[in-house]
């Protein structure tokens, strides 16, 4: 089976012509990664890591210095490769004097849709992004969240097999973010492959199966998200109500008491004894959950151990 995306030893060096001569910016250095069909890959990295550069190379907006990028096995300069891709740019700027519906129709037309099929797809995606109530409103009157949703509708209208999303949730409020997350989940269920570039760790953790951590143009870690979230020496966090910390002190867990609520962290093996002791003291168990190593911890470790400081090399 052909991968949706396969990138091999991809390097991009920008050359800047400045008043005092030329500068080379190594934006991407020997990047190798691939996305299987139907998978969601998160590319996580701080600003300047090379995420948008990777996307632009996949869309043939720029050409590599060395190495190769393939979309469904084809070079991005091949129109057939791009036909199956939907793209949400960072900071989308749709034509603001068009209404949302006109803009999505325009995008659908550019992707080759015509007639009844175009009308049906426009209606379907406007509903999918919950913008069907605002179709007659000009985009210049939209909020940031609405503009983002219309831009996403534009990416979805051609029913792409690969969605490339550049910072899809950045700058949105909680509701706006949730809506975009729900759409990505629904697309994944349909079998769409997704490349999700983001600096927002919880979004990548929630949505992606695989993650690549990019720092200063270099891949510093990659693999299944689940492997990066392995539980930390199987410890658990227990929350009780109505029991005093002193009643459980003999078991020596880490304790935080706020009013009637007591939060304890302890080894999984000691949890049962603690629950029994709390119940004997008339306490009530509110929750018990494993303490996980978060993707944020992995990311911070990667940043710390990266030789290259955050930001790309400038020569």
Ligand X SMILES: Nc1ncnc2c1ncn2[C@@H]1O[C@H](COP(=O)(O)OP(=O)(O)O)[C@@H](O)[C@H]1O
On whether the CB atoms of residues 56 and 213 are closer than 8 A, the answer is no
User: Which one of 46-54, 128-136, 226-234, 254-262 is the stretch in contact with Mg ion (CB under 5 A)?
Assistant: 46-54
27 binds, among Mg ion, ligand X, none (CB under 5 to 8 A by kind): ligand X
Residue count at the site for Mg ion (CB under 5 A)?
A: 3
Work out whether 266 is an interface residue with Mg ion (CB under 5 A): no
Smallest gap from Cβ 35 to ligand X, in A, equals 17
Smallest gap from Cβ 12 to ligand X, in A, equals 8
Q: How far apart are CA 288 and CA 237, in angstroms?
A: 6
Beta bridge partners of 271: none
Burial (Cβ within 10 Å: 0-12, 13-18, ≥19) of residue 175: exposed
On whether the CB atoms of residues 314 and 52 are closer than 8 A, the answer is no
16 binds, among ligand X, Mg ion, none (CB under 5 to 8 A by kind): ligand X
On whether the CB atoms of residues 163 and 88 are closer than 8 A, the answer is yes
Using the minimum distance from each CB to ligand X, give the nearer residue, 2 or 30. Answer: 30
On whether the CB atoms of residues 132 and 166 are closer than 8 A, the answer is no
25 binds, among ligand X, Mg ion, none (CB under 5 to 8 A by kind): ligand X
Give me the phi and psi of 241, to 5 degrees please. Answer: -125, 145
Question: Which H or E element spans position 215?
Answer: strand 210-215
Q: Which of 26, 40, 52, 105 binds Mg ion (CB under 5 A)?
A: 52
The DSSP annotation for 161-213 comes to SEEEEESTTTT--HHHHHHHHHHHHHHHHHT-EEEEEES-HHHHHHH-SEEEE
Work out whether 111 is an interface residue with Mg ion (CB under 5 A): no
178 binds, among Mg ion, ligand X, none (CB under 5 to 8 A by kind): none
Coil, strand, or helix at residue 145?
Answer: helix
Residue with the CB atom nearest Mg ion in the bound state:
52
Q: How far apart are CA 113 and CA 158, in angstroms?
A: 7
Work out whether 198 is an interface residue with Mg ion (CB under 5 A): no
Using the minimum distance from each CB to ligand X, give the nearer residue, 38 or 311. Answer: 311
User: Which one of 90-98, 107-115, 220-228, 247-255 is the stretch in contact with Mg ion (CB under 5 A)?
Assistant: 90-98
Smallest gap from Cβ 167 to Mg ion, in A, equals 6
The residues of the shown chain that bind ligand X, judged by CB under 6 A, are 14, 16, 25, 27, 45, 47-53, 311-312
Smallest gap from Cβ 90 to ligand X, in A, equals 7
Smallest gap from Cβ 167 to ligand X, in A, equals 8
Coil, strand, or helix at residue 313?
Answer: strand
- Sites of contact with Mg ion (CB under 5 A): 51-52, 90
């Amino acid at each position: 089976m052909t991968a949706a995306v396969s990138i091999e030893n991809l390097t991009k060096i920008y050359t800047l012509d400045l008043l005092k001569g030329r500068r080379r910016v190594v934006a991407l250095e020997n990047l190798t990664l691939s996305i299987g069909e139907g998978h969601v890959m998160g590319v996580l990295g701080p600003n300047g890591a090379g995420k948008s550069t990777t996307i632009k190379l996949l869309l043939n907006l720029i050409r590599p210095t060395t190495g190769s990028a393939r979309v469904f096995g084809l070079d991005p300069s091949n129109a057939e490769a791009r036909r199956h891709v939907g793209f949400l740019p960072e900071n989308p700027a749709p034509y603001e004097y068009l209404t949302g519906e006109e803009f999505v129709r325009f995008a659908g037309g550019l992707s080759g849709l015509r007639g009844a099929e175009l009308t049906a797809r426009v209606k379907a995606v406007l509903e999918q992004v919950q913008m069907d109530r605002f179709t007659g409103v000009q985009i210049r009157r939209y909020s940031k969240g609405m503009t983002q949703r219309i831009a996403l509708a534009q990416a979805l209208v051609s029913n792409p097999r690969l969605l490339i999303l550049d910072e899809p949730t950045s700058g949105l409020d909680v509701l706006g973010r949730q809506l975009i997350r729900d759409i990505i989940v629904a697309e994944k269920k349909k079998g769409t492959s997704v490349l999700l570039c983001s600096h927002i760790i919880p979004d990548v953790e929630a949505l992606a199966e695989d993650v690549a951590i990019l720092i200063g143009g270099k891949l510093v870690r990659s693999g299944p998200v689940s492997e990066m979230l392995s539980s930390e020496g199987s410890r658990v966090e227990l929350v009780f109500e109505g029991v005093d910390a002193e009643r459980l002190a003999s078991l020596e867990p880490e304790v935080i008491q706020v009013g009637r609520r007591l939060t304890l962290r302890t080894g999984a093996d000691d949890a049962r004894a603690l629950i029994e002791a709390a119940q004997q003291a008339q306490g009530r168990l509110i929750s018990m959950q494993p303490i996980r190593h978060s993707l944020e911890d992995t990311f911070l470790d990667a940043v710390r151990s990266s030789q290259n400081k955050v930001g790309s090399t400038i020569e």
